């Protein structure tokens, strides 16, 4: 009997563990280790943040699902990976620290034959002074954060109803932050709600981003087919912000927040300030701070993980100029080069480089988006990693028949631009591949026939449908595996 351990029950890890159990059945043991007791459908946190959904509508308890499927569940946090075992334990193991009520702080050693690291990002609020929901800004990165943001947004709306002017600052809260799409979506929803209440004259909404040009979204931007024309996402994004009355600041690295003031540096080397009454700024991401040790107890963290704490996989991490970056640098099986039974999926794997061109300010500060790996790519990667691990266990072979490089994978993104059965809108965009391949597609970097963008009511209904469809899938209900990632 083989034992597979998955760390992290986010989109990628939860997808992986469900497919592992489906493919391996009762003959093998599948273990999920996650500090979270709930699964959350992260894309809908935006709606929680404007009061249109409650946290209960975007989450559910994990344990009943895992109990039903025969998956061992431990509500704990991975502390350290020992891929060679140690003097007492010959088998590889991961050391965990329980956070489950009644077992807080209790440590345990969990052995494995295969380990999939799907821990996702650590929200690195600490990298920007004053950033975060426990300080001076809001977040929509978790359902709790989003609910807290809605509480504070209501205060701002109430002040506007009394005739007070409010400035809303939405965007990225670190010079290297990613997930511009989530912040962009939140800005549009705030604008929609203000307009719905006819409070526009009391509001100023400011978009602040580390993007060189708007619409970069950490993917280096894209060219999309829209209404029969080829349009850069820069124009697509700027036109939407202008339509919603949102002013923008780009090429900006936020480095400090005080009450009501955001301090940022521009690529031109200027140090500027933006006042606000309400701010929602996405933090930088890093790995989960796990350590790794060999059998003698020597720290091999730098062998297993990159400097940002994310796991090294089958990518080309060679340092080289931007002009030499290639789509072939990106991983396809997400296997550790150091240990063949160790994998990473979703945000947990270290990308070989960005998709956006690296930029530095005149002061030498890097200011540009790091690459996103959320949503659809995370789910696809989780399934592919699980399929390869199951294949290796059942066949006894070392090869990997399943591949999922982001340099060939397409993705669809639906950005909510207002919630309502007849008045709601969403911008729907597809890109293929996610990582631009300028060798294969020298004109646009992507297959322009599969890279499109539209905005309208249909997109809103599609996003709402996907909310319920993917929660149904995540709950592993009848026919769940037939729903694509």
Model confidence pLDDT, tens digit, residues 175-196? 999 999 999 999 999 999 999 9
Q: What is the pLDDT of residue 421?
A: 87
Q: What is the pLDDT of residue 229?
A: 85
Identify the CATH class of 3-123+286-395: alpha beta
The answer to which of 44-53, 172-181, 187-196, 222-231 has the lowest mean pLDDT is 222-231
pTM equals 0.96
Q: What is the pLDDT of residue 375?
A: 84
The answer to which of 20-24, 230-234, 472-476 has the lowest mean pLDDT is 230-234
Q: What is the pLDDT of residue 420?
A: 86
**pLDDT single digits (tens) 323-334:** 999 999 999 999
CA-angle at 472, arms to 469 and 478, nearest 5° = 115
Q: What is the pLDDT of residue 452?
A: 86
Under 8 Å CB-to-CB from 349, ≥6 apart: which residues?
310, 311, 313, 315, 331, 334, 373, 381
SS3 30: strand
Taking residues 163-180, report their average pLDDT.
Answer: 97
Which of 416, 432, 424, 430 is CA-nearest to residue 466? 416
Q: Domain boundaries in the chain?
A: 3-123+286-395
Ordered alpha helix ranges (H), 396-477: 457-474
Strand pairing class (93-98; 107-111): antiparallel
pLDDT band with cut points at 50, 70 and 90 for residue 305: very high
Q: How far apart are CA 442 and CA 156, in angstroms?
A: 48
% of residues, the chain, pLDDT over 90: 92
């Amino acid at each position: 009997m083989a034992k597979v351990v998955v760390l992290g029950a986010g989109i990628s890890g939860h997808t992986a563990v469900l497919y592992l159990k489906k493919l391996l059945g009762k003959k093998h043991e599948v273990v999920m280790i996650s500090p979270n007791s709930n699964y959350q459908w992260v894309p809908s946190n935006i709606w929680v943040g404007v009061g249109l959904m409650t946290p209960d509508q975007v989450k559910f308890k994990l344990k009943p699902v895992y109990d039903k499927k025969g998956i061992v569940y431990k509500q704990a946090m991975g502390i350290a990976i020992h891929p060679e075992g140690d003097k007492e334990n010959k088998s590889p193991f991961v050391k965990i620290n329980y956070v489950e009520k009644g077992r807080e702080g209790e440590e345990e050693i969990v052995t494995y034959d295969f380990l999939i690291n799907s821990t996702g990002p650590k929200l690195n609020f600490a990298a920007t002074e004053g950033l975060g929901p426990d300080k001076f800004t809001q977040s929509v990165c978790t359902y709790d954060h989003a609910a807290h943001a809605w509480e504070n947004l209501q205060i701002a709306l109430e002040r506007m109803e009394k005739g007070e002017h409010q400035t809303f600052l939405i965007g990225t809260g670190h010079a290297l932050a990613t997930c511009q799409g989530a912040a962009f979506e939140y800005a549009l929803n705030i604008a929609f709600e203000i307009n719905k209440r006819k409070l526009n004259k009391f509001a100023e909404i400011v978009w602040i981003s580390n993007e060189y040009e708007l619409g970069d979204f950490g993917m280096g931007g894209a060219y999309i087919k829209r209404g029969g024309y080829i349009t850069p996402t820069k124009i697509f994004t700027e036109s939407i912000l202008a339509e919603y009355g949102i002013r923008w600041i780009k090429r900006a690295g936020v480095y400090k927040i005080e009450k009501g003031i955001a301090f940022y540096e521009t690529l031109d080397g200027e140090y500027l300030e933006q006042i606000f009454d309400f701010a929602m700024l996405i933090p930088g991401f890093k790995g989960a701070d796990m350590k790794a040790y060999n059998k003698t107890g020597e720290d091999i963290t730098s062998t297993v993980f990159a400097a940002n704490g994310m796991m090294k996989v089958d990518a080309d991490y060679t340092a080289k100029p931007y002009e030499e970056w290639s789509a072939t640098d990106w991983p396809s099986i997400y296997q550790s080069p150091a240990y063949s039974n160790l994998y990473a999926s979703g945000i947990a794997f270290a990308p070989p480089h960005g998709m956006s061109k690296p930029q530095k300010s005149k002061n030498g500060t890097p200011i540009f988006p790091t690459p996103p790996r959320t949503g659809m790519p995370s789910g696809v990667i989780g399934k592919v990693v699980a399929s390869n691990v199951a294949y290796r266990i059942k066949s006894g072979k070392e090869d990997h028949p399943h591949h999922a490089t982001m340099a060939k994978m397409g993705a669809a993104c639906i950005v909510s631009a207002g919630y309502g059965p007849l008045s709601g809108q969403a911008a729907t965009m597809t890109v293929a591949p996610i990582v631009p391949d300028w060798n294969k597609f020298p004109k646009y970097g992507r297959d322009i026939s599969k890279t499109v963008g539209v905005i309208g009511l249909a997109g809103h209904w599609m996003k709402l449908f996907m909310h319920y469809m993917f929660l149904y899938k995540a709950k592993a209900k009848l026919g769940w595996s037939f729903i694509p990632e």
